[in-house]
Structure 1
Amino acid sequence: MPNFPIIDAHVHLYDPARIDYPWLASAPAIAGAFLPGDFDRARGEVEVDGIVFMEVDAAPGREEDEAHFVAELAAEDPRITGIVASAPVELGAGVAEHLGRLREVGLVRGVRRLIQDHADPDYCLSGNFLEGVREVGRAGMSFDICIRHWQFAQAVELVRRCPDVAFVLDHIAKPPIVEGTMEPWASTMRAMAELPNVVVKISGVVTEADHAEWRPEDVRPFIDHTVECFGFERCLFGSDWPVVNLAANYEAWVALLDDAFAGVSEEDLRRFYRDNTARTYGLTAA
């Protein structure tokens, strides 16, 4: 594991007793409350001194409540230095009032609105969605892209059409690891990396493999290709905890990355595990 404290760029914290998350009904293994104390038990010997909270697809209308809930957690746990909240960007310019309220929650650094569950791969290219994402950029926030691999080409076009927005590609675009195929994912990753306004989060990748029987050699080619395309200057570490628990545990995910990056310079490891996340999300306390 790294010999310095890391910043985790992708942590979910939630309590279904406080905020309703309908999708948890289909994921009973992670359907309970997952709070900072649970995170500490999960991380084991991995030293974490910074956490970016990632929205958890709260029930419609509860997005701002979720951001306030996490701000309450941050008041007790100063490691939570950034919040990526959900906002209805599909409203187009109408999302501006939502963003204004979110900005009042001092830790909100970015927005994510899930694309992955929309059957139409062109969903993120609708006029309203594009305008809503541009509003996120105008509000001084980044936009996290959460897609499945079959939506990847459209995500590249989204980034192209919003050149003034800073994007973060989550989970290396959820490649088809379980299928053992790299194309067209690999070529599309190369195309995405050519765009200067996007960085990539190497997070939760094992959940795209066979949850019960994955091996490091199944996952490594996808991680290696991502780093080859983006370089350590534009890659961020994220655990995707507790979703990662569906296929591994926190320490196992970090151990996989340690093996993948054996021989990498201390400078590049610090970029990956700390510095890039602090820069991307403007974590002044990191």
Structure 2
Amino acid sequence: MLDYPIIDSHVHLLDPARLGYAWTQGITGLRSKAEPADVFAAAKPVEVERFVFVEVDVDAGQHLAEAAWVSELAAAEPRLGGMVANLPLEKGVAVEADLEQLRQHKPLRGIRRLIQGQSDPDFCLRPDFLAGLKLLARHDLSFDICILHHQLPNAIRMVQQCPDVRFVLDHIGKPAIKVGEMDPWRADLKRLAALPNVHCKISGVCTEADHRTWTRQEITPYVEHALESFGFERVMFGSDWHVLELAGTYPDWVHVVDEIVHDCSPSERRKLFRDNAAAFYRLR
């Protein structure tokens, strides 16, 4: 186990008394409420120095309320170091009014708009979506790319049209681990990694495998390919907690990643578990 505190680039918090999460209905084993204290309790004995909240796909129209709530939490808990808020970028330049409201929150570091569940395969290539996305560069806000593996080609086209935006790929692009597929994800990830303004989160991997039977040996080739493609300068650890709990515990995931990079240098491991997330999300 690591002998220093980590910085977690990807944590979810929920409060169903304040916000709606329709997508969680019917998912067995997913806790309905999660606050900062729950993160630290779930992580033990791993010490989490700071973490980044990532939006939780609240019901339509609640993205500003979610950001305000998380900002309140961060004011009371300094280890909640950054926030990646939800913003409907498909509104195009008209979304700037919402963006200005979000920018009033001190923890704001980036934006995420889920692409993975969109019915339109070209959702992220719509002119209005790209126009909204390009607004982020002006304010030094990053964009979390959350997609399924078959959406990587369009994600590459999206990034190519936004060279001034800093991107980070969530969950290594969600490869089809459960059925053992590496291709075409393997080649597509390499192509995305060739774009210098894209980073990658080593997160959300075990939940793409069978939740009950996955093994370290099964997921290692996927994690190793992501590390090789992006290099240790552009990867960061993420727990994807609370969703992680569908497939394992927080300490288990830290241990698995630590084992995969066991033979890497101490500086490379610190970049993965601490330094890169701190730099990317400006947590220093």
Q: For this structure pair, what is the TM-score category when the shorter chain's length is used for normalisation? A: over 0.9
TM-score by length of 1: 0.97
- 1:151 aligns to what? 151
Write the deviation string for residues 65-97 of structure 1: whole angstroms up to 9, x where unpaired: 111111111122110010000011000111111
The CA deviation at 1:137 is: 1.8
- 1:230 aligns to what? 230
Q: CA RMSD in A?
A: 1.0
Which SS does the other structure have where 1:159 is aligned? helix
Unpaired stretches in structure 2, ≥5 consecutive residues? none
Which SS does the other structure have where 2:25 is aligned? helix
Write the deviation string for residues 125-180 of structure 1: whole angstroms up to 9, x where unpaired: 11111111101222220000000011111111111110010001000000000110
- 1:86 aligns to what? 86
- 1:239 aligns to what? 239
Read off the aligned partner of 1:267 and give its amino acid letter. S
The CA deviation at 1:31 is: 4.3
TM-score by length of 2: 0.98
- Is 1:111–2:115 an aligned residue pair? no
- 1:197 aligns to what? 197
Distance (whole Å) between structure 2 residues aligned to residue 53 and residue 99 of structure 1: 17
Unpaired stretches in structure 1, ≥5 consecutive residues? none
- Is 1:99–2:99 an aligned residue pair? yes
- 1:221 aligns to what? 221
The CA deviation at 1:41 is: 1.7
Q: How does 1:34-73 map to 2 (within 5 A)?
A: 34-73=34-73
Read off the aligned partner of 1:158 and give its amino acid letter. M
Distance (whole Å) between structure 2 residues aligned to residue 131 and residue 277 of structure 1: 26
Using a 3 Å threshold, how does the CA distance of structure 1 residues 12 and 220 change in structure 2: closer, same or farther? same
Contact 2:34 2:242 in 1 (8 A): yes
Read off the aligned partner of 2:100 and give its amino acid letter. G
Read off the aligned partner of 2:89 and give its amino acid letter. V
Distance (whole Å) between structure 1 residues aligned to residue 144 and residue 21 of structure 2: 19
Which SS does the other structure have where 1:56 is aligned? coil
- 1:77 aligns to what? 77
Read off the aligned partner of 1:204 and give its amino acid letter. G
Contact 1:84 1:111 in 2 (8 A): yes
User: Percentage identity across aligned positions?
Assistant: 47
The CA deviation at 1:26 is: 3.1
Read off the aligned partner of 1:55 and give its amino acid letter. E
Contact 1:10 1:51 in 2 (8 A): yes
- 1:178 aligns to what? 178
Read off the aligned partner of 1:133 and give its amino acid letter. L
Contact 1:121 1:150 in 2 (8 A): no
- 1:19 aligns to what? 19
Which SS does the other structure have where 1:29 is aligned? coil
Query: Segments of 4+ in structure 1 off by > 6 A?
Result: none
Contact 2:29 2:246 in 1 (8 A): yes
- Is 1:252–2:252 an aligned residue pair? yes
Which SS does the other structure have where 1:175 is aligned? coil
Read off the aligned partner of 2:254 and give its amino acid letter. V
The CA deviation at 1:258 is: 1.2
- 1:133 aligns to what? 133
